Chain A
Amino acid sequence: MNGTAVLQARGLGRKYGRRWALRDCTLDLPAGHVVGLVGPNGAGKTTLLKLAAGWLAPSSGGISVLGGSPAGGPAQLAKIGFVAQDTPVYPGLTVADHLRLGARLNPGWDAALARERIARLDLDPAHRAGKLSGGQRAQLALTLGLAKRPRLLLLDEPVAALDPLARREFLQTLMEAVAELDLSVVLSSHLVSDLERTCDHLIVLVDSRLQVAGEVDDLLATHHRLTGPRRDPGRLPAGQDVVSAHHTDRQSTIIVRTDTPILDPA
């Protein structure tokens, strides 16, 4: 399944009233990856995820997910899992109720997988979701998303509200699921540190626009931070694209993008 696109966007945009939440986004996400969607709050991450899940319709351009239109009917919806921000569950329903609901609402529901995960997480099926800790609630929401057996799982800021330990446990569960199931993942965060270990692909959104997208290793290999005595970024060798430059009295820190090796800038 590697190589085919799970998500394709062409000039995709979405407006709320007069404000563009996302504009002119052109993107190809290959299958079989864990994609990190990063950017400051309000950059358009949630909007992009909701467009992919079919919760929102585009104002301009187009998007196709797993070869279909995101809200293109029950068969399409069954292929996509979406865990919305703050990993919502029904506080008044028990863990077992959530699994029953999942089984009723999803044609491809994997009851064995759901039960096995709940047992592994040591969750009591009779427990009300409202009484669970933040970490347990997030794990329950993830279990529902996985037991649906989607081909693409979208997660909006799943670990933002969790403490470091719960965060690690959540990402661990997610990574194990990726290893076991044939699954592509897009997960958003405003903290790059959450995504360092878990994502092999990165999308950066700033001010409603796509800044950069690509494989993490390629991005790391082509971006460099140069620190040294103060100098004029304009005098850098040709082929070094300056992304940002900061100066103090004596020192310059410059981030450049280049395909060629960095030689001593003396």
Chain B
Amino acid sequence: MIEFHLDGRSGVSPYLQLVHQVRHALRLGLLREGDQLPTVKDVVARLAINPNTVLKAYRELEHEGLVAARPGVGTFVTRTLADSSLAAHGPLRQELRRWLTKARMAGLDDESIEALFMTTFRTAAQEDIA
């Protein structure tokens, strides 16, 4: 089962953070069809957040066709976002690890690595659009 966490400094609203975490887990194959999401009560007790926030996130996921609520039982994954590219994740992760080691050896700290990755990612994405 997936375990949620919240980043208070991200500026992303809590309900969207929950939605993103489920989508992430679906993309990475960590959540599969038939898996149950934590009950609203469990999430509320774990994160000390408003139950309406959890309900809103689950409704949004339901609207996207990713999960379905079975009244009195719970909320279940109905569709996966992991596609045929999942097989490529392993080798790509390894390359990324090697790159991270290189970056650390070159003296970059976590923040520099993140900044470098994000600017390169954004520039590349913009070039693709252009």
Whether B48 and A198, one on each chain, are in contact in the complex, defined by CB atoms closer than 8 angstroms, is yes
Among A34, A176, A193, A220, point to the contact of B52 (Cβ < 8 A). A34
Whether A180 and B41, one on each chain, are in contact in the complex, defined by CB atoms closer than 8 angstroms, is yes
Would you call B38 an interface residue if the criterion is a C-beta within 8 Å of the partner chain's C-beta atoms? no
Whether B41 and A200, one on each chain, are in contact in the complex, defined by CB atoms closer than 8 angstroms, is no
Q: Which residues of B contact A175 (CB under 8 A)?
A: 44-45, 48-51
Whether A216 and B45, one on each chain, are in contact in the complex, defined by CB atoms closer than 8 angstroms, is no
Q: A180-B41, A216-B13 in contact; A199/B48 too (CB < 8 A)? A: no
Would you call B47 an interface residue if the criterion is a C-beta within 8 Å of the partner chain's C-beta atoms? yes
Among B45, B48, B56, point to the contact of A197 (Cβ < 8 A). B48
Whether B52 and A200, one on each chain, are in contact in the complex, defined by CB atoms closer than 8 angstroms, is yes
Q: A176-B41, A217-B15 in contact; A34/B48 too (CB < 8 A)? A: no
Would you call A131 an interface residue if the criterion is a C-beta within 8 Å of the partner chain's C-beta atoms? no
Q: How long is the Cα–Cα vector from A197 to B48 in the complex, in angstroms?
A: 7
Would you call A196 an interface residue if the criterion is a C-beta within 8 Å of the partner chain's C-beta atoms? yes
Would you call A213 an interface residue if the criterion is a C-beta within 8 Å of the partner chain's C-beta atoms? no
Q: A200-B52, A200-B53 in contact; A217/B41 too (CB < 8 A)? A: no
Among B40, B45, B53, point to the contact of A172 (Cβ < 8 A). B45
Interface residues of chain A: helix, strand, loop or mixed (majority): helix
Least CB distance from B3 to A in Å reads: 16
Among A179, A193, A220, point to the contact of B41 (Cβ < 8 A). A179
Whether A199 and B50, one on each chain, are in contact in the complex, defined by CB atoms closer than 8 angstroms, is yes
- Contact indicator per residue, chain A 198-227, by CB within 8 Å of chain B (1) or not (0): 111000000000000000110010000000
Q: Which residues of A contact B8 (CB under 8 A)?
A: 193, 196-197
Q: Which residues of A contact B100 (CB under 8 A)?
A: none
Would you call A168 an interface residue if the criterion is a C-beta within 8 Å of the partner chain's C-beta atoms? yes
Whether A168 and B50, one on each chain, are in contact in the complex, defined by CB atoms closer than 8 angstroms, is no
Q: How long is the Cα–Cα vector from A216 to B53 in the complex, in angstroms?
A: 10
Interface residues on A, range: 20 to 34
Would you call A62 an interface residue if the criterion is a C-beta within 8 Å of the partner chain's C-beta atoms? no
Least CB distance from B69 to A in Å reads: 15
- Contact indicator per residue, chain B 46-78, by CB within 8 Å of chain A (1) or not (0): 011111110010000000000000000000000
Least CB distance from A257 to B in Å reads: 17
Q: Which residues of B contact A23 (CB under 8 A)?
A: none
Would you call B124 an interface residue if the criterion is a C-beta within 8 Å of the partner chain's C-beta atoms? no
Among A32, A168, A200, point to the contact of B48 (Cβ < 8 A). A168
User: Which residues of B2-50 are within 8 A (CB) of A?
Assistant: 6, 8, 13-15, 40-41, 44-45, 47-50
Q: How long is the Cα–Cα vector from A175 to B6 in the complex, in angstroms?
A: 16
Q: A172-B45, A176-B45, A180-B41 in contact; A197/B15 too (CB < 8 A)? A: no
Would you call A148 an interface residue if the criterion is a C-beta within 8 Å of the partner chain's C-beta atoms? no
Q: Which residues of B contact A217 (CB under 8 A)?
A: 13, 15, 56
Q: How long is the Cα–Cα vector from A34 to B14 in the complex, in angstroms?
A: 15
- Considering the complex, give the chain B residue whose CB is closest to the CB of A34: B50
- Considering the complex, give the chain B residue whose CB is closest to the CB of A217: B13
Would you call A178 an interface residue if the criterion is a C-beta within 8 Å of the partner chain's C-beta atoms? yes
Whether B50 and A198, one on each chain, are in contact in the complex, defined by CB atoms closer than 8 angstroms, is yes
- Considering the complex, give the chain A residue whose CB is closest to the CB of B48: A172
Whether B13 and A197, one on each chain, are in contact in the complex, defined by CB atoms closer than 8 angstroms, is no
Whether A171 and B52, one on each chain, are in contact in the complex, defined by CB atoms closer than 8 angstroms, is no
Q: Which residues of A contact B48 (CB under 8 A)?
A: 168, 171-172, 175, 197-198
**Chain A to chain B: the 5 pairs with minimum beta-carbon distance, closest first:** A172-B48, A179-B51, A197-B49, A200-B52, A179-B44
19 A-B pairs with CB atoms under 8 Å apart are A33-B52, A172-B45, A175-B44, A175-B45, A175-B51, A176-B44, A178-B51, A179-B40, A179-B41, A180-B41, A193-B8, A196-B8, A197-B8, A197-B14, A197-B47, A199-B50, A216-B13, A217-B13, A217-B15
